[in-house]
């Protein structure tokens, strides 16, 4: 007898999808409101009764907390994203109701992925998520670059799914189970299989050297889709990667451990070296996200000391900053269309106080300069990794963040020191402005009053 | 004392900056903005004067302590307090910031509101460094100082300001991140960020050496010591006058303060082990940068190089690890903070009138600006180290303490004094004496505001030179604690 109670969040989203499918056809404008309210209710339910859903299962309390917290973050993130998406879509004449369905399917896939205990379920979740992402990348059908991004993303993503399936089948051949708790006593074959699974997951979170798709897809897709790729699905894949690392006890398998460390170091370095020469801001953010993935992998590897708190804290801060930066970018438009080049940021200081100062906060925070929250995120990750003895990786990480500071500073230079060359159209999007101003305040005020955020992470892992 | 004076010192400028930033800029004139900034910083200065008045010089350890849990989970606390080593530097900071605002009253015309806001933030971050006794909060403030300084140089700097400000930022950051790793390692070992607890902890000798080098990387860039000093001349030359003043006056002291406050008490073994290296680097700094300064054609660059040489005295003094040496080094820090700040102001005065910093463009200035030449002479002589001025006491004590280490060291240090005298006198001669150039004739002498702040600085220089006990009373006890 299957206990459907534990699938409540997923069923809830499925219901939202059905409602949107039926009503969205007739009342296009309502679907955003319906889904915002829906996710709001889901968040409230998860906060209040989240743990009850999984009590009947035989999962450990820690895992349950992990599920609940990441689902809460995902559904809050969905609210912010859905609220943010309306205006940019309208501006680009892309405001069709399918888009919100893609978001919902991707979120559903992420939910399934996070709480899947079984590699096949994980595959379904990952594919559900990825297929929506391919469509979102190619959503601007009249734009060649968007089509190119969609096709690139699809073909490479299909390849990586192939790796995933092949890896899963190798593990199944060797051990005879899809369930993660049954997987132990790895032999060479299952280790190879597992490494293929890892490669596929690295591809999904765009860790170097499996990152080649990232800059092109980020650049070609509509900016609002780029924000989605950079935030929520990546978050879900990282959580799953974390679970694989933890539950299969990869730190105990020497060869896979090496793969993890090498990927982490390469991500840190490729991220910063790729970003230095970029002229297009979305490409720069793509490379910068690769660098941050390196930090997150470091956090995954050194979770033992302070539990998952450090990784989660980093992820939350990263999500907030990413949402903030993109909210500013989406609020800026040029005469030709979407905002693309870094040089178009020139002189933003003179045209808009709130945007330039929020950007200053976000980029200094990404660079890890105190007193902004990004510093503490990096600080905790490094504390964990040094305590666990990853000295070399820690040194690589901090040196990469020095190089990273260079290109973040370049953006700040463009905004604060240069005179503007072209006229930026102010979109005057109230929701977007509210989002980036409040996120900027969170990043800044964290220094003065860290308790709420720390306790949020801390209490769930008690 | 339950009155939270240190938090108030940190928060006053921040609150001031917030109120300024929330006021609508369209209605405010530049003068009003600067005046409000001046009121805030002067209030801050008066507030900081309470510290030496209520500080109990007979007691050991920190006073005015405030303790709040900050990151409960990671045992990082907001833990501030002051002792004799930090109070004079706090006073120096609060004293220099109003002067910085005063001297920019005419020169900063565009974006005045931002300028005042950045200076207020800078002030509170610097004070934060001097009052923190927890390593993490120390690092937070130490790094945060970079942000306003980056913007000040980048927005109001000279023609090559981007290069200078990027170099400044990245150099300092690269040094600091190594210190961050060392701090994290120390905290993971000691399980606390409290400076007093860490001083009592003994590390393995090999590890101690590495940790020392990590801290050294950060502080040596900040001081700056010889191979890491190249950011300084660029930053100084490109920065606006007020930026140079705060950079030379206070920011360079952060490194030396870090050596006294952290490196010496944490790593006793490594401090002795690396003594020769630091002496060698400092000697090179003193002799080499003095010779480089001799050949400069840009006034600001010359004073910037002289700063490197003077900070060489400071590092030598600190690492003699004797009471006299550190006392002398500390005195030199304070004295250099006043004198070099004043010298940059001196350059700023003529630059504002004549818009060139080249020495060759000036000649016979004393004919048209006698008051200017008078103040220039006082600060020049103090920089050279004339007895009766503050520069003498520090240099004398440092040189005296080097004899106990090595006579060669004394020799090189003393050469630095001679070279210092030669380039400063040369600068003074070329600018003030000689034939009066025609385009200099219309230069106006010092205004009342300028006379006011130059007299304050000159008074302090003379006071410390004639009655150095004023400072020694304050620092003696705390410094003897740090070399134990």
CA–centroid distance for A452 within its chain? 22
Instruction: State residue A320's pLDDT score.
Output: 93
d(CA B461, CA B451): 15
Taking 70 as the pLDDT cut, the residues of chain A under it are 1-2, 303-308, 458-462
Contacts of B313 (CB under 8 A, 6+ apart): B282, B286, B328, B329, B332, B394, B395, B398, B413, B416
**From CA B187, how far away is CA A372, in angstroms rounded?**
21
Cβ–Cβ below 8 Å for A369 and B136: no
As given in the structure block, the two tokens for residue A333 are 């438009």
Distance from C-alpha of A399 to C-alpha of B214, rounded to nearest angstrom: 13
Which of A371, A386, A401 is the closest to B188 by Cβ? A386
Q: What are residue A280's phi and psi, to 5 degrees?
A: -100, 130
What distance in Å separates residue A322's CA from the closest CA in chain B?
Answer: 21
B69 contact residues in A (CB cutoff 8 A): none
Give chain B's contact residues with A (Cβ, < 8 Å): 70-74, 136, 139-141, 143-144, 146-147, 150-151, 154-155, 161-162, 166, 169-170, 173-174, 177-178, 180-181, 184-185, 187-188
Chain A residues touching B73 at Cβ < 8 A: 306, 309, 454, 458
pLDDT of residue B196: 85
Q: In angstroms, what CA-CA distances link B132 with A183, B67, B107?
A: 50, 10, 34
Give the DSSP H or E segment for A302: none
Chain A residue numbers with beta carbons less than 8 Å from the beta carbon of B185 are 386
Asked whether residue A347 is domain-assigned, the answer is: yes
B-chain CB neighbours of A458 within 8 Å are 73
Query: Do B162 and A395 lie within an 8 Å CB cutoff?
Result: no
Chain A partners within 8 Å of B173 (Cβ): 369, 402, 405
Partners of A364 on chain B (C-beta within 8 Å) are 147
Please tell me the distance from the alpha carbon of residue A417 to that of residue A393, in angstroms, as a whole number. Answer: 35
List the structure tokens of B51. Answer: 């510290």
Under an 8 A CB cutoff, do B184 and A399 touch? no
The helix, strand and coil proportions of chain A, stated in percent and rounded to the nearest 5, come to: 75, 0, 20
Q: Which of B141, B173, B181 sits opposite A395 (nearest CB)?
A: B181
Q: Is B72 close to A417, i.e. CB distance below 8 A?
A: no
> What is chain A's length?
462
Q: Report whether B20 contacts B130 (CB < 8 A).
A: no
The verdict on residue A354 lying in a domain is: yes
What range defines the domain where residue A265 resides? 252-462
Chain B contacts of A304, Cβ < 8 Å? none
Largest CA distance in chain B: 70
Question: Nearest Cα to B52, choosing from B97, B11, B89, B4?
Answer: B89
Q: Shortest Cα distance from A113 to chain B (angstroms)?
A: 30
* Cα distance between residue A272 and residue A277, in whole Å: 10
Yes or no, beta carbons of A386 and B147 under 8 Å apart: no
Closest by Cβ to A401, choosing from B140, B144, B177: B177
| Buried residues in A58-91 as b, exposed as e (16+ CB within 10 A) | ebeeebbbbbbbbbbbbbbbbbbbbbbbbbbbeb
Residue B429: both structure tokens together: 């001669």
Query: How many structural domains compose chain A?
Result: 1
Task: Tell me whether residues A454 and B161 touch, CB distance under 8 A.
Answer: no
A 365-424: CB under 8 A from B: 369-371, 375-376, 379-380, 382-383, 386-387, 394-395, 398-399, 401-402, 405-406, 409, 412-413, 416-417
Residues of chain B contacting residue A381, judged by C-beta atoms under 8 Å apart: none
Q: Quote the DSSP letter at residue A332.
A: E
Of A40, A44, A181, A192, give the one whose Cα is nearest residue A116.
A181
Task: Please give the radius of gyration of chain A, using alpha carbons only, rounded to the nearest integer.
Answer: 21
Task: Count CB-CB contacts under 10 A for residue A25.
Answer: 10
Measure in Å the smallest separation between the Cα of B319 and chain A Cα atoms.
28
SS (H, E, C) B38-89: HHHHHHHHHHHHHHHHHCCCCCCCCEEEEEEEEECCCCEEEEEEECCCHHHH
Q: Measure the CA–CA gap between A204 and A122, rounded to whole angstroms.
A: 13
CA A450 to chain centre: 23
Residues 6+ apart with CB under 8 A from B443: B350, B353, B354, B365, B368, B369
SS3 B132: strand
Q: What angle do CA A257, A260, A265 make, to 5 degrees?
A: 125
Handedness of CA A147, A152, A155, A158 (dihedral sign): negative
Of B303, B322, B164, nearest in space to B245 by CA: B303
Tell me what pLDDT residue B26 has. 64
Asked if B170 and A402 come within 8 Å (Cβ–Cβ), the reply is yes
Residue A303 lies in a domain: yes
Looking at residue A305, what is its pLDDT? Answer: 54
- Quick check: is A159 in a domain? no
Name the token pair of A266. 């390469």
Chain A residue with the nearest C-alpha to that of B152? A417
Q: What's the pLDDT at B27?
A: 65
Contact state of A416 with B185 under an 8 Å Cβ cutoff: no
- ipTM for the predicted complex comes to 0.90
Strand-by-strand arrangement of the A337-338 sheet: A337-338, A332-334, A425-426
Q: How high is the mean pLDDT in each 10-residue block of chain B (484 residues)? A: 81 89 74 87 91 84 84 77 90 92 84 88 92 90 92 88 91 90 89 85 90 93 88 91 91 92 89 91 92 91 92 91 90 92 91 87 87 92 89 90 89 90 91 84 86 92 90 85 71
**Residue ranges per structural domain of chain B:** 274-484
Nearest Cα to Cα of residue B101 among B175, B176, B156, B162: B156
- Residue identified by tokens 């888009």 is A99
Q: What pLDDT is recorded for position A22? A: 87
């Amino acid at each position: 007898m299957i206990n459907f109670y534990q699938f409540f969040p997923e069923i809830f989203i499925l219901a939202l999808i059905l409602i949107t499918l039926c009503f969205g056809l007739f009342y296009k404008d309502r679907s955003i409101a319906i889904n915002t309210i829906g996710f709001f209710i889901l968040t409230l339910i998860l906060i209040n009764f989240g743990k009850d859903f999984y009590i009947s299962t035989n999962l450990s309390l820690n895992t349950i907390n992990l599920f609940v917290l990441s689902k809460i973050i995902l559904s809050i993130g969905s609210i912010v994203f859905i609220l943010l998406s309306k205006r940019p879509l309208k501006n680009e004449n892309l405001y069709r109701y399918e888009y919100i369905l893609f978001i919902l399917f991707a979120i559903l896939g992420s939910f399934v992925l996070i709480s899947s205990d079984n590699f096949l379920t994980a595959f379904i979740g990952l594919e559900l998520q990825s297929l929506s992402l391919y469509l979102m990348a190619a959503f601007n059908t009249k734009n060649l670059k968007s089509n190119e991004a969609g096709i690139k993303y699809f073909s490479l993503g299909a390849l990586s799914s192939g790796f995933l399936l092949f890896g899963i089948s190798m593990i199944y051949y060797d051990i005879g189970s899809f369930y993660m708790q049954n997987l132990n006593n790895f032999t060479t074959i299952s280790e190879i299989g597992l490494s293929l699974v890892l490669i596929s997951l690295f591809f999904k979170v765009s860790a170097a050297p499996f990152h080649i798709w990232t800059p092109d897809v980020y650049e070609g897709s509509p900016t609002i889709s780029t924000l989605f790729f950079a935030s929520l699905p990546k978050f879900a894949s990282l959580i799953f990667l974390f679970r694989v690392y933890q539950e299969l006890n990869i730190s105990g398998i020497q060869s896979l451990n090496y793969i993890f460390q090498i990927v982490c170091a390469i991500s840190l370095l490729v991220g910063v070296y790729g970003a230095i020469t970029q002229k297009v801001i979305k490409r720069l953010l793509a490379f910068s996200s690769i660098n941050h993935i390196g930090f997150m992998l470091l956090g995954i590897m050194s979770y033992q000391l302070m539990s998952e708190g450090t990784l989660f804290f980093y992820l939350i801060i990263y999500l907030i900053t990413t949402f903030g930066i993109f909210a500013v970018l989406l609020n800026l438009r040029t005469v030709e269309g979407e905002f693309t080049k870094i040089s178009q940021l020139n002189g933003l200081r003179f045209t808009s106080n709130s945007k330039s100062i929020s950007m200053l906060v976000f980029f200094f925070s990404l660079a890890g300069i105190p007193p902004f929250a990004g510093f503490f995120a990096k600080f905790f990750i490094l504390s964990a990794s040094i305590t666990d003895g990853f000295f070399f990786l820690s040194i690589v990480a901090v040196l990469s963040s020095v190089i990273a500071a260079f290109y973040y500073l370049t953006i700040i230079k463009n905004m604060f020191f240069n005179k503007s060359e072209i006229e930026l159209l102010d979109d005057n999007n109230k929701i977007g402005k509210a989002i980036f101003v409040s996120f900027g305040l969170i990043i800044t005020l964290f220094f003065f009053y860290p308790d709420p955020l720390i306790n949020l992470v801390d209490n769930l892992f008690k | 004392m339950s009155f939270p004076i240190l938090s108030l010192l940190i928060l006053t400028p921040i609150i001031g900056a917030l109120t300024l930033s929330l006021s609508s800029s369209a209605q405010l004139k530049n003068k009003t903005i600067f005046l409000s900034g001046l009121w805030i910083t002067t209030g801050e200065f008066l507030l900081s004067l309470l510290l030496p008045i209520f500080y109990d010089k007979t007691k050991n350890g920190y006073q005015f302590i405030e303790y709040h849990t900050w990151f409960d989970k990671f045992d990082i606390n907001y833990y501030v307090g002051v002792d004799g080593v930090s109070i004079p530097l706090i006073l120096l900071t609060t004293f220099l910031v109003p002067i910085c605002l005063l001297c920019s009253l005419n020169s900063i015309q565009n974006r005045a509101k931002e300028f005042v806001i950045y200076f207020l933030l800078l002030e509170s971050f610097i004070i934060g460094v001097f009052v923190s006794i927890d390593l993490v909060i120390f690092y937070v403030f130490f790094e945060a100082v970079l942000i306003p300084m980056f913007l000040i140089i980048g927005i109001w700097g000279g023609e090559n300001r981007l290069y200078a400000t990027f170099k400044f930022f990245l150099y300092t950051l690269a040094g600091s991140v190594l210190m961050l790793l060392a701090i994290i390692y120390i905290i993971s070992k000691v399980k606390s960020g409290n400076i007093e607890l860490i001083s009592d902890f003994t590390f393995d000798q090999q590890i101690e050496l590495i940790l020392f080098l990590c801290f050294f990387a950060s502080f040596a860039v900040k001081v700056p010591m010889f191979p890491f000093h190249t950011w300084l001349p660029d930053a100084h030359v490109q920065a606006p006058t007020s930026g140079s003043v705060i950079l030379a006056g206070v920011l360079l002291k952060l490194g030396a303060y870090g050596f006294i406050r952290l490196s010496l008490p944490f790593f006793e073994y490594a401090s002795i082990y690396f003594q020769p290296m630091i002496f060698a680097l400092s000697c090179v700094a003193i002799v080499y940068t003095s010779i480089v300064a001799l050949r400069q054609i840009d006034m600001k660059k010359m004073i910037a190089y002289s700063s490197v040489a003077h900070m060489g005295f400071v590092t030598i003094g600190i690492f003699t690890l004797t009471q006299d040496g550190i006392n002398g080094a500390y005195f030199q820090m304070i004295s250099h903070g006043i004198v070099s700040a004043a010298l940059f102001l001196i350059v700023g005065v003529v630059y504002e009138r004549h818009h060139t910093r080249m020495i060759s463009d000036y000649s016979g200035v004393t004919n048209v600006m006698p008051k200017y030449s008078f103040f220039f002479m006082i600060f020049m002589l103090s920089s050279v180290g004339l007895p009766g001025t503050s520069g003498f006491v520090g240099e004398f004590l440092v040189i005296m303490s080097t004899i106990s280490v090595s006579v060669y060291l004394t020799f090189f240090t003393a050469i630095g004094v001679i070279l210092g005298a030669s380039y400063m006198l040369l600068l003074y001669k070329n600018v003030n004496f000689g034939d009066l150039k025609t385009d200099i004739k219309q230069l106006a002498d010092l205004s009342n505001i300028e006379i006011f702040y130059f007299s304050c600085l000159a008074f302090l220089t003379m006071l410390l030179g004639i009655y150095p006990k004023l400072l020694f009373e304050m620092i003696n006890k705390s410094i003897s604690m740090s070399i134990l």
